[in-house]
Amino acid sequence: MKRPASIMLAAVLLLALAACGGGTPGEDTGEPSAVPSDTTPSDEAPPDVIPTPQDEEPADSVSDPAGIVSAHGQLRVEGADLVDRDGNPYQLRGMSTHGIQWFPQFVNESAVKELRDDWNTNVFRLAMYTGDGEGYTDATKERIEQYVDDGIQICLDLDMYCIIDWHILQDKTPLLKKEDAIEFFDKFSKKYGDRENILYEICNEPNPPATWKDDIKPYAEEIIPVIRQNAPDAVIIVGTAQWSQLIEEPKNDPLDADNIMYTLHFYAATHKDWLRDSLKRCRQAEFPVFVTEFGMCSASGNGANDFEEAEKWLGLLDEYNISYVNWAFADKNEAVCALNPGASPTGGWAESDLNEGGVWIRNRFRSKE
Ligand code: IDC
């Protein structure tokens, strides 16, 4: 796995050039903006007018769990694979919330049950923005943590896997809110460390100027032991530089820890062969990758969907048994959100309730065994 530093540097530069394509973050051709014009929650309904989930069924009403976590148990990482308790490669597929602080109404038991039973998914990602909009602050954290906790409870009740996502984006480096992250992950891993359902994603998308070596790796080296102390067996997923695209940096300079996977994110209309080639090299090196977020449109969250590229991606991930989670399960008016504005938060979605991408991804999930 080791390569000379000069080759690594050249490869990283090439990757960065290929990824940016001359565009700057926020342009439709490039990356999600670290400071997007529509970041403020104003178009996402301020939290105090968002109803708290009311339509949850009581936990004991779920009489027929699909036998997901009870069948597959504690997941772990073996080589490049995520495997189940029997050591068989196991692929997680599912949806991610949008910012849970802005769209908590979509985190309710009947919606997630429909994602499980009708969309054929086995994991639900709870994305909690830490820096964008109002972010995670002393003033907001109690409320936001409650949403995360509610989401975990729903996944436990539904016998599904669940990813807790510390969704850095505008905050660029995970070091910025490291102390908050320590407190947050300590709290949740203490409460749920004995549950097999939960995977911990410790930093969504570090982005420039944050680097693997100076920001992400030292951050991970502090956060992982905090989680491990309470949840010794949990799989931990670590973000990578350049909006979780530079997966070959940790491939060449991995963390000294077990049961770790590294994040790759792609948006099919933006990220194509060069990033798939990078993934193939990771696979050849037995380096464990988890796609905790992808979209069929551009990285801006809008623009045309590229289903041809998306199918190339998902075909490859299926071939490798790499897990993937689609962004985003919400009704915001953007290509990347699966539900049309005004769709019911509690399920019963007809095709007319889904946008083009939503219809496609639901069919894609349904097509799996
Ligand atoms: C986008 C949301 C959009 C929001 C913006 C900034 O879809 O509504 O205004 O974030 O908060 C990512 C990020 C993810 C982005 C998504 C689409 O992880 O937070 O969501 N994206 O731009 N990486 C690449 C694309």
Q: Check residue 66 and give its pLDDT.
A: 62
What is the mean pLDDT for each group of 10 consecutive residues in the chain (369 residues)? 42 39 32 38 34 38 66 98 98 98 98 98 98 90 97 98 98 98 98 98 98 98 98 98 98 98 98 98 98 98 98 98 98 98 98 98 96
The three-point CA angle 287-129-84 to 5° equals 35
Could you give the C-alpha distances from 291 to 18, 214, 278, 316, 323, in angstroms and in order? Answer: 20, 23, 13, 12, 6
Query: Of 173, 171, 172, 151, which is closest to residue 163 (Cα–Cα)?
Result: 151
Sign of the torsion angle spanned by Cα atoms 66, 61, 350, 164: negative
Q: Is the CB of 205 under 6 A from ligand 1?
A: yes
Q: Check residue 369 and give its pLDDT.
A: 82
Q: Check residue 135 and give its pLDDT.
A: 87
Minimal-distance CA residue to ligand 1 atom 1:
301
Minimal-distance CA residue to ligand 1 atom 12:
32
Residue 366 carries which DSSP code?
H
183 is catalytic: no
Query: Of 165, 114, 23, 182, which is closest to residue 353 (Cα–Cα)?
Result: 114
Give kind and range of the element (H or E) at residue 310.
helix 307-320
Q: Check residue 88 and give its pLDDT.
A: 97
Q: Is the CB of 244 under 6 A from ligand 1?
A: no
Q: Check residue 56 and give its pLDDT.
A: 38
Domains of the chain, each with CATH number or no CATH = 61-366 (3.20.20.80)
* Residue among 44, 56, 201, 205 flagged as catalytic: 205
Ligand 1 pocket test: which of 298, 336, 337, 339 has the largest number of ligand atoms within 8 Å of its C-beta? Answer: 336
Taking the CA of residue 244 as reference, the ligand 1 atom at the shortest distance is 23
Minimal-distance CA residue to ligand 1 atom 9:
39
| Burial (0-12, 13-18, 19+ Cβ within 10 Å), 162 | buried
